[in-house]
Chain A
């Protein structure tokens, strides 16, 4: 088990001890839980513990001797308590279940009901068998030759242009605003232009300009639509209008904003725009409100 890679709290007391670091000492004091709580290192839950005990007793799951196994189960819980290990609620529920089954098995069959009597253990046995199957499936998964551990792939470089759909992620508004902030910063770093004429740009004009680029190339880098060919740093209002134009185009589904991902699935590379061709209506203009 690789404790370091995975969060604790699994198989121990659920939410209350998942991350001791997340709670202040005061909170621990208030709840009376000792600040020192350890994840039970061996068992992945009550079913796992039961399977272990069944194996140790060398009995069939279907023939589980509930009284004996139940007693061993309880003594195990006591041991856990002695060791100051944290006992999850699920372990206690199982203890109660075992006690219930045990008491049912002690009851004499009700007269006249002998024939359709159900083994009180049936449900528990079914659960144990199912859990065992998936435990085995997990073992099988672990034994497979794993990419990045046992085998390594030959991989060509990503081609230029749009990335395959399943290797890219849609970019959210915040990432977009982040990127726009960079553009604004870039603007303030550029040579300042003594502006005499105030050029009026409308969002609608910028939408048309962006769409013209997209219709000729299909995809374009988000950063690149903010410049123009003059080499001068565009005016701030131009930048803002362009940014709003992008938002508007996304809203009317004329284009999508996406970013490629690296092998780990983390976003990587420039944010790009792509013309949407999947939409039924290609005439994006009709979707745009007049007052933009």
Chain B
């Protein structure tokens, strides 16, 4: 089958899928398709959208591809919505970040970082389907463990939690912005925070701070 036709099939499937559709699934449906080919085709589609100055592009979120409008149209699209966009307070964002990086994490671990109680915030985050219980830690008291949801990845345009910027990179960012920071090596148990996200280095493509999601045309 011609590549052009395969690309159009991918486009149609991504457009009409009710949720992000994985490369593997696309590869199975597209005639003579493979994961790798699908990724290339999505890259080509995005390249075309860019050239055509299209109002949308394909993102890779929560393990699948999804067509999303470009951010410049947010004002118009918000008027189309029945609900107001999800707003998150500073407390919620901090708590969510700690859960995202440290997961699975207990409430006590989150509170140790923030220095305040987080029970109410965690509850609200759970109601918003951003955080969920993922089990219990096998220590006395068997405290509940929390982690982020697939919804969290969708909302924040992340492919997986490994897609989050590394904490050390954030420190550098903070230093650049002139915030008082110190040598990361002095930050105590920094090894622990970095566990589970070793593979994130070097995935950043664009430089606009929210670069992870829309995938680049493949080389």
Contact = CB atoms under 8 A, between A and B. Distances in A.
Interface of A: 1-3, 5-7, 9-11, 14-15, 18, 44-48, 54-55, 58-62, 88, 90, 94, 125-127, 129-159, 164, 166-167, 264-265
7 contacts: A10-B117, A47-B115, A127-B113, A144-B156, A144-B210, A146-B157, A156-B16
B118 A10 contact: yes
B147 interface: no
A147 B68 contact: yes
A140 B89 contact: no
> Nearest 3 pairs between A and B by C-beta?
A126-B188, A156-B16, A149-B85
B71 A150 contact: yes
A88 B116 contact: yes
Given A5-B87, A9-B120, A152-B68, A59 B180 contact: yes
A159 B16 CA distance: 10
B167 A137 contact: yes
Given A10-B116, A10-B117, A154-B15, A133 B89 contact: no
B219 interface: no
A44 B70 contact: no
B213 interface: yes
A140 B209 contact: yes
A136 to B, nearest CB: 4
B36 to A, nearest CB: 24
Between B59, B69, B180, the greatest number of chain A beta carbons within 10 A of the residue's beta carbon is seen for B180
Interface centre among A125, A141, A149 (most CB of B within 10 A): A141
Contacts of A3: 89
Given A127-B115, A129-B187, A138-B94, 13 more contacts: A45-B115, A46-B115, A55-B180, A90-B116, A125-B182, A129-B188, A131-B113, A137-B170, A138-B96, A146-B85, A147-B155, A151-B69, A154-B66
Contacts of B113: 127, 130-131, 134
Interface string B186-219: 1111000100000000000000011001000000
Given A129-B181, A138-B94, A164-B19, A14 B117 contact: yes
Contacts of A5: 87-89
A156 B15 contact: yes
B156 A152 contact: no
Given A146-B156, A151-B157, A131 B115 contact: yes
A1 B100 CA distance: 20
A94 B91 CA distance: 19
A220 B114 CA distance: 48
A136 B77 contact: no
A136 B170 contact: yes
Contacts of B87: 2, 5
B74 A149 contact: yes
Interface stretch (B26-34, B137-145, B171-179): B171-179
Contacts of A156: 15-18
Nearest to B68: A151
